[in-house]
A and B are shown apart, each in its own frame.
Chain A
Amino acid sequence: MREIVFWAMAIAAVVTAWRVFRADSMVRAAYWLMASFVAVGVILVLLGAEFLGLVLLLMMAGEMTIMAVFMVMFMMNPAGLNPMTMVHQHRTSIVAGVVAFAGLAGVGILGRFPDARVSEPDRATAQLGGELLGDSMLVFETAGVALLATMIGALAIASSKGRYGGADEGSAPPELGRAGEPPTTKAGERDTGEQRAGQHEAEDEHAGHGGTMSGMEM
């Protein structure tokens, strides 16, 4: 039974990974990749690493969705709904693919892997916890702090309130003049740096109830 599930999942992992590059839509490609990860997660569970396998699924669900959303955002493809090819730079990617495959296959064939059976998944999880906060603590904490710094940096970059004012400013409607008319062009004045900085300081004050928050509305 275990053997059947293993082979089914191993084949599924490879086939779905191949489908990633045959899909013609970014969302499909992202979720084919997720399907591949699901198969790998099931194999991890079969190997007795219940916790690791399930956490892989838990993480990938969010990650693949975010990846799909970001790809749609960056690709200038309206809403990501139009079909588009997922394969570019054929020569480079073929070379990279062959080299990576040869390297990993070499490790797989020549490397020595432990083949002792895991007795209980429960103990394996506890041992993993002990390892994370024991011998390997320095490694994992270093990686953790590096990731945290990256996250803070990403937040700072993506934050709607940047050094030069709110990110949603461009989308804010122009203020109306006294007679209810749109203001005559102020572009010439706005271009001078000093005024700009001053203006933004003033605008920061009431940025809170501007209420556009275009980033969230999506």
Chain B
Amino acid sequence: MGSVTGSPGSSIAPIAAAVTVLLLLGIGIYAVAVLDRLVGRAVAREPLRLRAVLIAPVREAALLLMQQRISTERPDAQLWAFAPALLGALAAAGLAVVPASGGSGMTGSIPGMSAGIVYFGAAMAIVMVAVFLQGWAANSVLPLIGGYRFVAQALSYEMPLALVLIAAALPAQSLSVVEIVRSQHAVWNVVRQPLGLPLYLIAASGLAFWGPLNFPDGADLVGGTAAELSGAPLLFWKAARTAVLVAAAAMGAAAFLDGWWGPFIPGPLWMALKTLALLVIIILAGHLLDRVRLERFVVVSWVVLIPVALVDVFLSGLVALWTGGQGGGP
């Protein structure tokens, strides 16, 4: 979703690309904020009130920007300011590698980079650092517990996340996200790797600590890593976390739903629609499912999700050998 549409060659100005990514990320954050409210109202069978819902995120952001910032006693101020920025930057870095369309000259751009899926994995692995620092830097108990919780949580979802992405790369015989999308034109990965997308969505909600997997920011910790935040830092923290969700959904659309490929409407629109569809699923799960206990999630993740993800890699490899072996790859 990050690249400038189909501009040929590597002549894309890096600044223009960065601005595009940030713009798309901003739109995505706003879309999630609106969707979250709409889905919440739909689940509660309340009237939707579209106009109010469309204005609500802007109103909340403006309110937070005007509010006073509070501080704790002797926080690690530099790291405290650094953590939300790092989280937002990682989301942008992750989104940058997701292609919005299949231009011919993708090789020089970030979406065309040969180890794109590893790049995404690396960016998402550092999310753990950002959330832990956010919890640690406040010099306060509840955020600290939230930070420690996220470390346990991250160690549990990271393996399934990495494994299903590896499985998605197998039929493409490439680690490049563009090639992964191209390999799905005949059969989408969501069809030929039925275990992949469900596991990915669970891992993605863990990554953005969303819905039932919101352990570090949970209500039982009175906000957890966000407990001591107020005003603009709270707004940035929420936005950065939502941005991570957007980036994860965009990568899910590229890795499992054939990215930009589709009839009638241009590629970037397909990409946006597929990303939105995945976001709706995650947000709906957040409203319908109750939060589980962290211990249970950790145990389920290591005992069930990781073995299932390994089975997914194995089956995907078999299918790829079976169907793509004689074709000679991409």
Binding site for B on A (CB under 8 A): 25, 27-28, 31, 34, 50-51, 54-55, 57-59, 61-62, 64-66, 68-69, 79-81, 120-122, 125, 213, 216-218
Contacts and interface: CB of A to CB of B under 8 A. Distances in A.
Interface of B: 76, 79, 113-115, 118-119, 121-122, 125-126, 128-129, 132-133, 136, 139, 144-145, 148-149, 151-152, 154-155, 158, 162, 174-176, 294-295, 298
17 contacts: A27-B79, A31-B133, A34-B129, A50-B115, A50-B118, A51-B118, A54-B118, A55-B122, A58-B122, A58-B125, A59-B125, A61-B125, A61-B129, A66-B155, A80-B136, A81-B136, A125-B115
**Which 10 residue pairs are nearest across A and B when measured between Cβ atoms?**
A122-B114, A61-B125, A58-B122, A218-B148, A57-B122, A54-B118, A50-B115, A61-B126, A216-B295, A58-B125
B71 to A, nearest CB: 15
A58 B118 contact: yes
Contacts of B174: 122
Nearest to B150: A65
Contacts of A125: 114-115, 175
A28 B79 contact: yes
Contact of A62 (B115, B158, B295): B158
B115 A216 contact: no
B129 A65 contact: yes
Give the interface centre of A31, A34, A59, A80 by most chain B CB atoms within 10 Å.
Answer: A31
A122 B169 CA distance: 14
A164 to B, nearest CB: 22
A85 B96 CA distance: 40
Contacts, number: 78
B49 to A, nearest CB: 41
B119 A54 contact: yes
Given A50-B113, A216-B295, A218-B152, 7 more contacts: A25-B76, A28-B79, A31-B133, A54-B118, A58-B162, A59-B125, A64-B129
Contacts of A80: 136
B8 to A, nearest CB: 20
B154 to A, nearest CB: 7
Nearest to A211: B295
A62 B176 CA distance: 23
A51 B148 contact: no
Contact of B149 (A25, A59, A122, A218): A218
